[in-house]
């Protein structure tokens, strides 16, 4: 990660909400969700807020040798957005503490501010991280086989 990434850095990212991001579409395998409003699901919005932060700091990363993973989200989702609208994600880096990044982030849908909050990410070495995941998967398989 470049030492040029500092608190105060601001960024924006746009994303058009696809139909698959609505509550009935995203949770199509859960019966009662099929009757819910056809609006952007909070779970999908959280992902878009995260991706806005990833996109914002990408110029400071040695991609793909450095990547970042979300470790904390604290968002309020307070306005509905139908599919087809374009989100504008606006963010600011609040802290850079070693490999830990803290962001303030908000989303607008062209009519309303729909979400705001904070998000934390950690910069990782994907080779080391993937090795740990593979070891965990192997341990889980071994535990299932022993049961």
Catalytic residues: 42, 50, 77
CA distances from 34 to 28, 37, 46 (A): 6, 8, 21
Round to whole Å and give the CA distance between 30 and 7: 42
Q: Kindly state the helix (H) or strand (E) to which residue 114 belongs, with its residue range.
A: strand 113-124
Nearest 5°: CA angle at 62, between 70 and 13?
55
Three-class secondary structure of residue 108 per DSSP: strand
Round to whole Å and give the CA distance between 53 and 22: 22
């Amino acid at each position: 990660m470049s030492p040029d990434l500092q608190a105060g850095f601001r960024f924006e990212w746009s994303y058009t909400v696809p139909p698959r991001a609505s509550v009935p579409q995203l949770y199509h395998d859960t019966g009662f969700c099929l009757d819910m409003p056809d609006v952007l699901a909070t779970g999908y919005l959280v992902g878009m807020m995260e991706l806005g932060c990833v996109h914002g700091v990408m110029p400071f990363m040695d991609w793909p040798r450095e990547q970042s993973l979300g470790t904390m989200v604290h968002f309020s989702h307070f306005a509905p957005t139908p599919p087809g609208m374009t989100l504008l994600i606006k963010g600011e880096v609040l802290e850079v503490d070693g490999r830990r990044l803290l962001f303030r982030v908000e989303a607008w849908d062209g009519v309303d501010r729909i979400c705001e909050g904070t998000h934390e990410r950690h910069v990782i070495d994907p080779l080391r991280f993937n090795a740990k995941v593979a070891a965990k998967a192997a341990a889980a398989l071994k535990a299932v086989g022993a049961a």
